[in-house]
Chains A and B, each alone.
Chain A
Amino acid sequence: MIRIEDLEFRYGEGEFRLRVPELQVEARTATACIGPSGSGKTTLLNLIAGITTPQKGRIVTHDTDVTSLSDERRRSFRIKTIGLVFQEFELLEYLTVLDNIMLPYRINPALRLDSRVRERAISLAEKMGIGDKLGRHPGKLSQGERQRVAVCRAVLPEPVLLLTDEPTGNLDPANKGLVLDIILDYARENDATLITVTHDHDLLARFDTVIDIKEFAVIGEGAGRQGGGTPQ
């Protein structure tokens, strides 16, 4: 479960502020986060993941208060507990598909790379239809294939929380459905909590809950409103 209490966040001295008095996302649910561009959807994901820290308030992710952790511990917590998928895939061009999938195991000693992990990475890639492209570099893959590699990378450490930031934003309709299926299937099969930022309202029916970030964003002093999650 993710619980946010009395959270306030702003970038420097800018006018944008995110104010979340209270928000709760149940474990093992699929939640969509919607809202206009610049309203703070990605910021909310970053806060939940501990990538950025709020000026005020608490974020408890699966019983861990991420706001109280040191930077290094937040990173270790994130790499073990949270899988992240980005709109731009963010694959490393100089690594092969297999190396990209296993990347989390090479950049933090909290995860240990062994033959079992390697076998799991290969079987995951096969399951996602990219098993024959393990030796290729991302530059030689289609958009849909790249995003599948990014999803494999996010789920390989078997995270209990999957945060995906517009994972289908750059995909054609066929790949959009396929990638969303993969993400939702993983979440359901592994009892993971899923929060997905999306602009695509056609996809909302596939989620258990929808958060409208407009409820929390404040542009300019005194212009904001306060709100909470909207169950569907």
Chain B
Amino acid sequence: MRQTLYLAWRYLSYHRVKTLILLVSITLIIYLPIGLRVLVDQSSQQLTARAAATPLIVGAKGSPLELVLNTLYFRSDYPEIMRYEQVTRVTDADLAIAIPMYVRFNAQGHPIVGTGYEYFEYRGLDIVDGRQLGMLGECVVGSRVAEALDVGPGDFVISSPESVFDLAGVYPLKMRVAGVLGFSDTADDDAIFVDVRTTWIIEGLGHGHQDLSRPEAASVVLTRDSTNVVGSAAVVQYNEITEDNIESFHFHGDISQNPVTAVIALPPDQKSSALLQGRYQGEDEPAQIVRPVNVMNELLGTILSVQSFITAGAVIVGMATLATAALVFMLSLRLRRREIETLFKIGGSRLSVASVMTSEIIAVLLAGVILAGGLTFLTGQFGSAAIRAFIRM
């Protein structure tokens, strides 16, 4: 057997290009459908894990997928905006804890998530450096944000304007980093968390400026009466909230009309969940309530049917390649007929000669299987991380 394997090895190493092509073909034939399956399974698991941990999401009527992707993964375009009164509505129903979510802005490529303290507790996010949000204008950053932007407690991140032409609207707000969250291997690692009111300030719905009632502001006051003070364009507006100027920050208009993108609703039991869902079934209802796991399963159903097509394609290509490989082996045997005859003539045993030929085929097949197995293992180990890295790109 050792001699047989030696001859097979010599043949394969001498014809290394042919061997390599066969090896790569066979490896890919085996790996593609299996590796794809592993990758899809892992992605499905990851997507559904976060969705399954989020019982209900309330949002404005529109695309449920957009709503879920934005609320859970802080991705996709922001969904239809709804009013903050929808948060109060959930709370007032006394059927669930309501966590406001306003995911619209970003800072240096990372999403700014406007929310409440309940979010951190609900997601089990702990501060590993610094402290929790303490005042308006502060933020806590996910671990990957801290790493990517090289920021920590006491540093600043600046929100990005939505559009350079939007002079009256969103303007950059310099936010002080209060703390850094621990690594959770979720979308939270890539986000910057602020109080929902801070996002309203970013949007321009609240602002802070120099106190016009003070004597030093006299030069920027146009008119003053008993109820109103009108300032000129020279009034200093603050783009950073500090302990010194926080008192000057205020919101105009009705807070309940301020925007949010979603409300995460955490009902204590099935019954409350069912009752809450029932409240959003009316035809005139401006909001929708969705179970994220259902939305994600629907998305995965689409992905899986696409995967089935890809697998079917890979199997067909695999069969064609396998047939080609078989043809290559057969042609190779034909080309080696003279060599086989020589081996027979000088006294090679039938078994030994047949073993040499089959060992070569088996060796290539086996190496292909081992390589495909290795690639599948690597996909299992690093596939999901690679997908996440790819998604973040």
Task: For A105, list chain B residues within 8 Å (CB).
Answer: 3
Bitwise, B325-364 to A at CB < 8 A (1) or not (0) is 0000000000000110011111111101100100000000
Contacts of B390 in A (CB 8 A): none
- Tell whether A108 pairs with B349 under 8 Å between CB atoms, given A94-B11, A94-B14: yes
* Interface membership of B6, Cβ < 8 A: yes
Least distance between B273 CB and chain A CB atoms (Å): 71
> How many positions in chain B have a CB within 8 Å of any CB in the partner chain?
22
Q: Assuming A86-B342, A107-B352, is B347 touching A76 (CB within 8 A)?
A: yes
Which B352-385 residues sit within 8 Å CB-CB of chain A?
352-353, 356
Asked if A84 CB lies within 8 Å of chain B CBs, one says yes
- B14 neighbours in A (Cβ, 8 Å): 93-95, 137
Contact B343 A107 (CB under 8 A): yes
For the complex, give the distance between the alpha carbons of A84 and B10 in Å.
23
Q: Cα distance A75–B345 when bound, in Å? A: 8
B352 close to A109 (CB less than 8 A): yes
Q: List CB contacts (< 8 Å) of A72-92 with chain B.
A: 72, 75-80, 82, 84, 86, 90, 92
How many pairs, one residue from A and one from B, have CB atoms within 8 Å of each other in the complex? 74
Bound-state Cα–Cα, A94 to B346, Å: 18
Residues A75 and B10 in contact, CB atoms below 8 Å apart = no
Q: Are B349's CB and A72's CB within 8 A?
A: yes
Q: Say whether A178 faces chain B, with CB atoms less than 8 Å apart.
A: no
Q: Which of A72, A93, A106 is most buried by chain B, counting CB atoms within 10 A of its CB? A: A106
Task: State which of A78, A79, A90 has its C-beta within 8 Å of the C-beta of B342.
Answer: A90
Does B7 sit within 8 A of A, measured CB to CB?
yes
Assess the B347–A78 pair: CB atoms within 8 A: yes
Contact with B along A155-166 (1 / 0, CB 8 A): 000000000000
Output the nearest chain B residue to A99 by Cβ-Cβ distance.
B10
Query: Which of A78, A79, A94 has the most chain B CB atoms closer than 10 A to its own CB?
Result: A94
What is the CA–CA distance of A191 and B6 in the complex, to the nearest angstrom?
33
| B261 nearest CB across to chain A (Å) | 68
Closest to A88 in B: B338
Q: Answer whether A94 and B350 are a contact pair too, CB < 8 Å, given A99-B10, A107-B3.
A: no
Specify which of A104, A113, A137 is in contact with B347 (CB 8 Å cutoff). Answer: A104
In the complex the two chains form, is A106's CB within 8 Å of B342's CB? no
Contact of A49 (CB < 8 Å), options: B11, B339, B345, B350 = B345
What mask results when residues 26 to 64 of chain A are scored 1 for a CB within 8 Å of chain B, else 0?
Answer: 000000000000000000001001010000000000000
Report if B392 contacts A (CB, 8 A): no
Residues of chain A within 8 A of B15, CB atoms compared: 94
**A contact residues around B344 at 8 Å (CB):** 51, 75
Q: How far is the CA of A105 from the CA of B7 in the complex (A)?
A: 11
* B32 vs chain A, min Cβ distance (A): 31
A107-B345 contact in complex given A94-B11, A137-B14, C-beta closer than 8 Å: no
On whether the beta carbons of A95 and B10 are closer than 8 Å, the reply is: yes
Q: Which residues of B contact A106 (CB under 8 A)?
A: 3-4, 6-7, 352
| Residue numbers in A under 8 Å from B346 (CB-CB) | 78-79, 84, 103-104, 107, 153-154
Closest to B348 in A: A107
Whole-angstrom distance from the CB of B354 to the nearest CB of chain A? 11
Knowing A94-B10, A95-B10, the reply to whether A72 touches B350 (Cβ < 8 A) is: yes
Which residues of the partner chain A approach B6 to less than 8 Å between Cβ atoms?
106
Which residues in B have their C-beta under 8 angstroms from that of A72?
Answer: 349-350
Given contacts A94-B14, A94-B15, A95-B10, contact A107 B350 (CB under 8 A): no
Contact residues in A for B10 (Cβ distance below 8 Å): 94-95, 99
Do A75 and B350 touch (CB < 8 A)?
Answer: yes
Which of B338, B344, B346 neighbours the largest number of chain A CB atoms within 10 Å of its CB?
A: B346
Contact between B338 and A107, CB atoms less than 8 A apart: no
Q: B345, A84: Cβ atoms under 8 Å?
A: yes
B184-202 vs A, Cβ < 8 Å mask (1 yes, 0 no): 0000000000000000000
Most central of A77, A107, A110 by chain B CB within 10 Å? A107
Q: Does A181 contact B (CB under 8 A)?
A: no
**Contacts of A78 on B, CB cut-off 8 Å?**
346-347
Distance between Cα atoms of A99 and B13 in the complex (Å)? 14
Name 28 A/B residue pairs within 8 A (Cβ), A-sorted.
A46-B345, A72-B350, A75-B349, A75-B350, A76-B347, A77-B347, A78-B346, A78-B347, A80-B347, A84-B345, A86-B342, A86-B345, A90-B339, A94-B11, A94-B14, A95-B10, A95-B14, A103-B343, A103-B346, A104-B347, A106-B4, A106-B6, A107-B346, A107-B348, A108-B352, A109-B352, A153-B346, A154-B346
Q: 9 nearest interchain CB pairs?
A: A79-B347, A94-B14, A107-B348, A106-B3, A78-B347, A90-B342, A108-B349, A107-B352, A75-B347
Which residues in B have some Cβ–Cβ distance to A below 8 Å? Answer: 3-4, 6-7, 10-11, 14-15, 338-339, 342-350, 352-353, 356
| Contacts A49-B345, A108-B352 supplied; 10 other A-B pairs, CB < 8 Å | A46-B345, A75-B347, A86-B342, A90-B342, A90-B345, A106-B4, A107-B356, A108-B348, A108-B349, A154-B346
